Amino acid sequence: MLAEFAVRVEDSLGRRYPQAPHPFRNDFQRDRDRVIHARAFRRLSNKTQVFTRRYSDHFRNRLTHTIEVAQISRTIAGALGLNLDLTEALALAHDMGHPPFGHAGEKALDTVMRAHGFFFDHNLHALRIVEDFELRYIGYRGLNLTFEVREGIIKHSRDYDAAKFPELKEYLLEQRPPLEAQIIDLTDEIGYNTADLDDGCEAEILSLEQIRTGVPVFDRLYRETEKSNPQAGEKLIFNAAIRKMLDRMVGDLVGNTSRRVREAGVKTLGDVRKFGKRLAAFSDEVEQERAQTKSFLYENLYFSKALEPEKDVAERVITELFEHWIANPEALPGTHREKAKREPLPRVVCDYIAGMTDNFILEQHEKMLARG
C-alpha cells in the first residue's frame, strides 16, 4: 500500500518520447531495467569507490556500492510507504555520472574544467548520460526515462537555482523532489559510511582501536555486542557493530522522516513538493553521529597517506589527458570530434573522460602520453 504522499506511476508526467505501456512492467520498472542494461551502469564495476585493486579486488567498487544503496533504499521506501520501483530506479542510477578514480577523480575533473570556465557535476553528467549518451533505441537518443526518474537523478542530493541553471527549468527547481528522491542521498551516506569503515579496517588503513576512539556510536555498539557475545571473535563483533550502526541509521531515518511528515501536515505529493525544505532527515542525535563518522573517514581514510598515491595518479592522469585532448582534438575518437563541432571542446573532453573506467583511462594515458 502506497502512502498518500508517495509517487504513483499512473500519475507520472511521462517520457519525453511517448511509448505504449508494457504488458508486464509499469513505467518505473521499465526505467529501472533500462538503467541496469545501460553501458554506463556496467562501467561502474570498474570504477573506484574508495580502494583501487592495488589493495584487493574484494573491496566495494561503484557498482557494488550502488547495489547496496539500492537494497537500503528499498527497505526505507517500503517502511515509509513510498514507491519501491521509482526508489530502486533512482538508487541504481544515482552514481552513473561519476568519473573514474572515485571522489579524487571527480575533484580533478572539476579542477581542470574550471580552468576553462566550466565545471563538473556528476548529477548533471548522469542526466546527460540518460538523455543523450546512451544509444540503445531506434527513434531517440538516451534511455527515454520518465520525468520522475530524470528529476530524481539531478535533485536527489541537492537543489539547483533556477536562475543559474535555466537549462533545467523543466525539472521544477522551485519545488522539492518527492520523498523517493529525497531518501537516496541519505541512504547513500548510510551505505558508504558503514562500508568504508568496513573496507578501511579490512585494508588495515584504519585500526579497530582507531575506529572505536574516533566513532563513538560504533564504540558503543561494539561494547554492547562484545558484552552479549563474549565468546565471539573480534572480527565477528566488528561486523555485528557495523550492521547495528547501519540498522540504527535506517531505523532513525524512517522514524524521523515519518514524524516530520506528520508534524508538517503533509498529506499529498503536492504537499511534499511545496514544503519549504526537505522532509527526509535523520534525528538531531543520529545526524550528529553521521557527521562524526563522515569527518572521521575524511580525516583518517580518504585523506590518509596510504591513499595519497591513488589521489596523485587520479590528478595526474586526468589533468594530463584533458590537456592533451584540448591541445590535440584530432586525437579524440571520431564521434567526439563531431560533437566538438557543436559543443565546447572542454565539455566534450570532460564527457569522454568521465565515462571511462579506471582501467581504460590508464590505458589511454599510456597510449597517448607514454614517455620514453
- Which residues, including other chains, have CB under 8 Å from residue 49's CB and lie 6 or more apart? 59, 60, 61, 62, 64, 65, 102, 192, 195
Mean of the pLDDT values across residues 335-353? Answer: 96
Residue 93 has pLDDT above 80, yes or no: yes
pTM (2 decimals)? 0.95
Confidence of residue 159 (pLDDT cuts 50, 70, 90): very high
Residue 263 has pLDDT above 60, yes or no: yes
Ranges in the chain annotated CATH 1.10.3210.10 = 9-309
- What is the spatial distance between Cα 306 and Cα 17, in angstroms, rounded to a whole number? 49
Q: What is the pLDDT of residue 307?
A: 87
Containing 357, the helix (H) or strand (E) segment is none
Confidence of residue 247 (pLDDT cuts 50, 70, 90): very high
Contact (Cβ atoms closer than 8 angstroms) between residue 28 and residue 149:
yes
Mean of the pLDDT values across residues 183-188? Answer: 98
Q: What is the pLDDT of residue 175?
A: 96
pLDDT digits (tens, 9 = 90+) for 295-327: 999 999 998 998 888 889 999 999 999 999 999
pLDDT digits (tens, 9 = 90+) for 164-174: 999 999 999 99
The domain made up of 9-309 has a fold known as: Hypothetical protein af1432 (1.10.3210)
Containing 332, the helix (H) or strand (E) segment is none
The amino acid occupying position 310 is E
Confidence of residue 372 (pLDDT cuts 50, 70, 90): very low
Q: What is the pLDDT of residue 54?
A: 59
The percentage of residues in the chain with a pLDDT greater than 90, rounded to a whole number, is: 90
Mean of the pLDDT values across residues 259-275? Answer: 97
pLDDT digits (tens, 9 = 90+) for 41-73: 999 999 988 876 555 567 889 999 999 999 999
Length of the chain: 372
Residue 226 has pLDDT above 60, yes or no: yes
Mean of the pLDDT values across residues 159-182? Answer: 95
The amino acid occupying position 69 is V
Q: What is the mean pLDDT of the chain?
A: 94
Mean of the pLDDT values across residues 255-269? Answer: 98
DSSP letter for each residue of 40-79: HHHHGGGSBSS--TTT-SSS-BHHHHHHHHHHHHHHHHHH
- Which residues, including other chains, have CB under 8 Å from residue 65's CB and lie 6 or more apart? 49, 95, 191, 192, 195
Cell digits of residue 97: 555520472
